[in-house]
A and B are shown apart, each in its own frame.
Chain A
């Protein structure tokens, strides 16, 4: 193209990746592959100039009152510790960056991250820097502090587990003598000693470790809901009570050894389950998005969200999120894509209501609080968006619990007639052995493992739920630009005003749209970040910008600048600066994939915002007449909504509405990911030809989960029958119960791996 292009053969000074051709950023004589690396390097090397803007600093001003910040302790005049919750922590890089904080903020002496708790202990010198500045910096680098601190549990799960294990070991040991034949003759004191010893350990275990189940069951009963902890709690209590009676009567040692074993295995199961869920979840809380505090005009200070009252006048900044339902005091433009998925901004007139979750696009304004900020309403929003992790419905739980309790009672009564001493033991065994844990574990484990396996196919799903959705797919709606065509768009650039190439390059560089990237590649000019003063991208239309010389720019479709549709125009103050025609490079390797997918019963659709272009000959059979061009984002959504179980594959950038209206959406990624797609997952372009395997695998996984449910049902039936027939003792039941869960989990995981591709 342009022979003046300089090519750098070295690698980025920050990430050490090779720098691709002309896309280079130079700062202080160092080379970087992108502005991101350049910024990160500047920050970490202390060559600053970077830091939180004044608006950000003022957002945390209220923290200066030290009592406002929980977890803050002042040790001396020069040493303070702030234990702050940072929900955005999610990976190794987060930990590394945060623990390097002393390198980029000198007044901070040490930072220690607790990854599991998503918390950081920041040691700093309060004389040199205030807590609000530290908070602003944390927000600036991407980890806004959450002031809603969860109560720290001192009796952690691990400790309870340890105590339960200790109790079980000692209780069982104390029970051995009687197992091995110790009797009252000649050893009555020893017998009593050991019996009471066993009882002691089991009781300790129940009080410290087992109380969770008792409390949970009590709460459920009080709240009139059914909980799976109810039968367990009943079983524990019954066992303890009955054993105590037997002990005091002198009849036998009771079943305290069983009880201690039961409690330990229950806790162990819960612990393992919690750890596994933690590994799968991608949960972000709503607090990540809402501001912590807003400036309240009538009070003259920053106020925490929860403290806002109806009638308060607050100030909302440009780019901020509306934290509570308010009445606007001046006209404003809002982006409600978080709530409605509609990316077109909405103009709101003075006096009208602004809804929570909207993003302010125009200049900041004042507003009156209409409804007190309730976190529940925003959480509701978020919950609608996020997949729920509960595969077991509450109704199923209720039925299961009731059935188990009924069976236990019936069994107990029947046995009371036959052999009263065994009645309680058998009832308890029934209560314990019936475990629906497998029902709630099978799906998460299966889909979670499957999501991991799918990464080998180049598919990265946000949650395991995506696997289930994929298996149900009946229609696939393909976007054209970037999906069916390659993203590294080559094209013809007609440069009419060479002297403006710097500004043009700077404008297109800020967009992640494939066409913009194509123009930038074709231009090969140096990017001047300071040359652009205003910049705004409108989905489906183009980029509006203003440069430092006061010129108005538009880069985009013909519709946006009143010219015939077709090429992409770069217009400056009405004059045509450049013309770009991308060449449609269709991915012809997809032909086979289309046929394979049709064999699975899938119907293909093409939905694009582009002008009509001829499809490759071989594709006509697959798409037939289901080809739609020149559709706006809203129209795309309308086409998709009536399609049942539709998968939308696009670039995740300018088809958010389509993504949301489809049952599941995937974004195709090629090379560097310059943006965060709002899809349910991403798909690597060079793995597109494997997509049929992806769907086949998903269907197999769904079948596996169904098989696991059946397996669990068989376990439960067998277990309950055996218990009712008197073949189980509570401790055997306690061991078998987690074993059944574990075996079901192993079953699904092994199958998830087994169905995976052979490399």
Chain B
């Protein structure tokens, strides 16, 4: 029996847009992973322990 068009068919459109948004987030995730955000998960924790020395010269 062939399907009759129903109001439920709006799902096609909804699904499309929702996947579009999801894809955008995925792209953002992939970009961040590629640019090294997840590369060093231990470093930042250790960097916290660095003491701020009084700046002696204009260097850095």
Residues of A near any B CB (own CB < 8 A):
46, 92, 95-96, 99-100, 102-103, 106, 109-110, 113-117, 154, 156, 158-159, 162-163, 166, 170, 184-190, 193, 197
Contacts and interface: CB of A to CB of B under 8 A. Distances in A.
B55 to A, nearest CB: 10
Given A102-B60, A189-B3, A190-B9, A116 B15 contact: no
B33 interface: yes
B40 A116 contact: yes
A96 B43 contact: no
Interface string B25-59: 01001100110101111110011011001001001
A189 B29 CA distance: 32
Contact of B39 (A46, A117, A166, A193): A117
B38 to A, nearest CB: 4
Contact of B53 (A103, A106, A187): A103
B46 A193 contact: no
30 contacts: A46-B56, A96-B49, A96-B50, A99-B47, A102-B60, A103-B53, A103-B59, A106-B59, A109-B59, A113-B43, A114-B39, A114-B43, A115-B40, A115-B43, A115-B46, A117-B39, A156-B38, A158-B38, A159-B30, A159-B33, A163-B30, A170-B19, A184-B3, A186-B4, A187-B6, A187-B8, A189-B3, A190-B9, A190-B11, A193-B12
A653 B7 CA distance: 84
Contacts of A92: 46, 49
A158 B29 CA distance: 10
Contacts of B38: 156, 158-159
8 closest A-B pairs (Cβ-Cβ)? A159-B33, A115-B43, A158-B38, A92-B46, A114-B40, A188-B3, A115-B42, A116-B40
B22 interface: yes
Contact of A159 (B9, B34, B49): B34
Of B4, B11, B60, the most chain A CB neighbours within 10 A belong to B60
B44 to A, nearest CB: 9
B41 A116 contact: yes
Contacts of A184: 3
A233 to B, nearest CB: 24
A154 B30 CA distance: 10
A373 to B, nearest CB: 32
A143 to B, nearest CB: 15
Contact of B60 (A110, A117, A197): A110
Report, as a range, how many residues of chain B touch the other chain: 20 to 34
A124 to B, nearest CB: 12
B6 to A, nearest CB: 7
A162 B3 contact: no
Contacts of B33: 156, 158-159, 162
Contact of B26 (A99, A163, A189, A197): A163
A42 to B, nearest CB: 14
Contacts of B12: 189-190, 193
Contact of A190 (B8, B29, B39, B47): B8
A156 B36 CA distance: 9
A473 B58 CA distance: 60
Contacts of A159: 29-30, 33-34, 38
Given A96-B50, A110-B60, A187 B3 contact: yes
Contacts of A186: 1, 3-4, 6
A96 B43 CA distance: 10
A464 B23 CA distance: 44
A184 B50 CA distance: 64
Contacts of A46: 56
A28 B47 CA distance: 31
Given A99-B47, A115-B40, A162-B33, A170 B59 contact: no
Nearest to B46: A92
Contacts of A156: 33-34, 38-39
B47 to A, nearest CB: 7
A187 B36 CA distance: 45
B2 to A, nearest CB: 8
Contacts of A185: 1, 3
A93 to B, nearest CB: 9
A188 B8 CA distance: 12
Of A115, A117, A166, A187, the most chain B CB neighbours within 10 A belong to A115
Nearest to B38: A158
B43 to A, nearest CB: 4
A249 to B, nearest CB: 19
Given A170-B19, A186-B4, A154 B34 contact: yes
Given A159-B29, A184-B3, 19 more contacts: A96-B49, A99-B50, A100-B50, A100-B53, A102-B59, A103-B53, A103-B59, A103-B60, A109-B59, A115-B43, A116-B40, A117-B39, A156-B34, A159-B34, A162-B29, A163-B30, A185-B1, A190-B8, A190-B11
Contact of A109 (B3, B46, B50, B60): B60
B27 to A, nearest CB: 11
A189 B10 CA distance: 12
B46 A96 contact: yes
Nearest to A91: B46
B59 to A, nearest CB: 6
Contact of A117 (B1, B8, B40, B56): B40
A582 B34 CA distance: 63
A159 B35 CA distance: 11
A385 B60 CA distance: 43
A100 B60 CA distance: 10
B58 to A, nearest CB: 11
Nearest to A162: B29
A166 B43 contact: no
B19 A95 contact: no
Nearest to B29: A162
A248 B41 CA distance: 44
Contacts of A103: 53, 59-60
A166 to B, nearest CB: 5
B39 to A, nearest CB: 6
B10 to A, nearest CB: 11
A156 B2 CA distance: 47
B9 to A, nearest CB: 7
Contacts of B26: 162-163, 166
Nearest to A200: B19
A185 to B, nearest CB: 7
Nearest to A118: B40
A114 B8 CA distance: 52
A106 B60 CA distance: 10
A624 B38 CA distance: 60
Contacts of A170: 19, 22
A341 to B, nearest CB: 34
A197 B15 CA distance: 10
Contacts of A188: 2-3
Contacts of A100: 50, 53
